[in-house]
Amino acid sequence: NKQISNICCIGAGYVGGPTMAMIAQKCPHIKVTVVDLNEQRIADWNDADLDKLPIYEPGLADVVAEARNRNLFFSTEVDQAIADAQMIFISVNTPTKTYGVGKGMAADLKYIELCARQIARVAKDDKIIVEKSTLPVRTAEALSTILNSTGNGVEFDILSSPEFLAEGTAINDLQVPDRVLIGGKDTERGKAAMQALVDVYANWVPLENILTTRVWSSELSKLTANAFLAQRVSSINAISALCEKTGADVDEISRAIGADSRIGSKFLKASVGFGGSCFQKDILNLVYLCQHFNLPEVAAYWEQVIKMNDYQKHRFAKNIIDKLFNTVSGKKIAFLGWAFKKDTNDTRESAAIYVADELLQDRAEIHIYDPKVTKEQIIKDICHCEEERRGNLPESETTKELLKRVTIHSTPYAAMENAHAIAILTEWDEFKTYDWQKVYSEMLKPAFVFDGRNIADKEELTTVGFDVYNIGKGK
């Protein structure tokens, strides 16, 4: 049985960084090298100041501090790391295609393909390749074709081991995963490769939590898991709209249905809409696969999860405009939160971006505060969204003009001072601790709060004098 002592991971992002840090911490006998083309990212991972790590994730800095330069290394020397490793994780990004066939739906596998070609070129001995990125079902086949076409006698075994960590809780998710999934071929070699990866995880994960399946099942399980999770959020958000019309309270409904053990209580929090780099991308990918395999009914079923999410984001923005007497032009709207969820600095597909865009189109002035997202990132998100929305229409307002109406603050009170309304977009814990009396006294009246996460104490805020609107709570 092959004992792994040298691992390489290509891609030092939200998955590659924390996942490899955890393997290195739990397996001091394995040398783990995480490589990336992005020099700045690698420099940040190597920064002596742990506050400069490229991603914010509770508990991550401690794990990195323990293992870095012991058996965990971050490097831009991709070829060298590939050549030295017995097992190579591919953890590069797989965004939605923005061009050509499958544009706007299919996963763009160009980074995966580049990795495969690079590995094929560099490898001089047999290697186990682990798909960590989220991939369409049957990608292992394409990888195998590229890797095994060199004719130099080197053999590759391809495993699928999708990552189920969620941002904000990544360290805990990696430390005590509900399960680790490993898919491989049902051959002697395939089984040996799977066992080698099982042995790595068995250093800290109980064997009964390590599931082994065929490759295709493993690949498709990842898309399915994300589709089911996102579907729960869209389902409860759909009910939230009905609650607002009828006077029912969606949080009470979540509690009531969640008590049914067949439904379960997790992932039933109504919100302004789900964000994050995975849900939308992975469902679009699933929809594309269904269409590709001529299953239009199945495709339409899952597509509805995304449509409902778009509707929820739009509904939230429109409610702000409606309640502010049908226009937010020239009005100051304070945004609490920009990240797609709490405890992360990630903003990919954050609902805040879409809500901001819609309010900016109605000429609002937006004042944003987020505890962890940088000013540069927020500006980048707004510009990107505006450019996408605008296309090439010449008479549209320029992005520069739009940015004149955006201010980013480093303290929450400055963001809310003289505001017409506050919109809560992320559920950061600190938002619950503010001095709402002070906030109220410094705002314009009537002072509105639109709580897109149902985290503020509605009774307290109403007593202070605020006009509070929640998700899924009828007046």
Question: Taking contact as CB under 6 A, which single stretch among the options 162-170, 256-264, 350-358, 374-382 is the one that binds ligand NAD?
Answer: 162-170
Residues between 410 and 439 with contacts to ligand NAD, criterion CB under 6 A: none
222 is catalytic: yes
163 is catalytic: yes
Where does this chain bind ligand UDX (CB under 6 A)? 163-167, 226, 229, 233, 267-269, 271, 274-276, 278-279, 340-341
Binds 92: which of ligand UDX, ligand NAD, none (CB < 5-8 Å by kind):
ligand NAD
Based on the shown chain and the rule CB under 6 A, indicate whether residue 381 belongs to the binding site for ligand NAD.
Answer: no
Q: How far apart are CA 77 and CA 88, in angstroms?
A: 14
290 is catalytic: no
Q: Which is nearer to ligand UDX, 184 or 452 (CB)?
A: 452
> Minimum CB separation from ligand UDX for residue 470, in Å?
14
Binds 94: which of ligand UDX, ligand NAD, none (CB < 5-8 Å by kind):
ligand NAD
Q: Which of 71, 133, 234, 470 is the binder for ligand NAD (CB under 6 A)?
A: 133
Based on the shown chain and the rule CB under 6 A, indicate whether residue 12 belongs to the binding site for ligand NAD.
Answer: yes
Question: Taking contact as CB under 6 A, which single stretch among the options 111-119, 318-326, 393-401, 413-421 is the one that binds ligand NAD?
Answer: 111-119
> Minimum CB separation from ligand NAD for residue 288, in Å?
14
Q: How many residues bind ligand NAD (CB under 6 A)?
A: 27
Based on the shown chain and the rule CB under 6 A, indicate whether residue 131 belongs to the binding site for ligand NAD.
Answer: no
Residue number with the smallest Cβ distance to ligand NAD: 13
> Minimum CB separation from ligand UDX for residue 174, in Å?
11
Q: Which of 33, 71, 93, 347 is the binder for ligand NAD (CB under 6 A)?
A: 93
Does residue 406 contact residue 453 with C-beta atoms inside 8 Å?
no
> Minimum CB separation from ligand UDX for residue 330, in Å?
30
SS3 per-residue string spanning the chain: CCCCCEEEEECCCCCHHHHHHHHHHHCCCCEEEEECCCHHHHHHHCCCCHHHCCCCCCCHHHHHHHHECCCEEEECCHHHHHHHCCEEEECCCCCECCCCCCCCCCECCHHHHHHHHHHHHHCCCCEEEEECCCCCCCHHHHHHHHHCCCCCCCCEEEEECCCCCCCCCHHHHHHCCCCEEEEECCCHHHHHHHHHHHHHHCCCCCHHHEEEEEHHHHHHHHHHHHHHHHHHHHHHHHHHHHHHHHCCEHHHHHHHHHCCCCCCCCCCCCCCCCCCCCHHHHHHHHHHHHHHCCCHHHHHHHHHHHHHHHHHHHHHHHHHHHHCCCCCCCCEEEEECCCCCCCCCCCCCCHHHHHHHHHHHCCCEEEEECCCCCHHHHHHHHHHHHHHHHCCCCCCCCHHHHHCCEEECCCHHHHHCCCCEEEECCCCHHHHHCCHHHHHHCCCCCCEEEECCCCCCHHHHHHHCCEEEECCECC
Binds 91: which of ligand UDX, ligand NAD, none (CB < 5-8 Å by kind):
ligand NAD
Question: Taking contact as CB under 6 A, which single stretch among the options 91-99, 285-293, 435-443, 445-453 is the one that binds ligand NAD?
Answer: 91-99
Question: Taking contact as CB under 6 A, which single stretch among the options 13-21, 360-368, 409-417, 457-465 is the one that binds ligand NAD?
Answer: 13-21
Q: Which is nearer to ligand UDX, 45 or 274 (CB)?
A: 274
Under the rule (CB under 6 A), what is the footprint of ligand NAD?
10-16, 35-38, 41, 78, 91-94, 111, 114-115, 133-134, 163, 165, 167, 277-278
Active site residues: 163, 222, 278
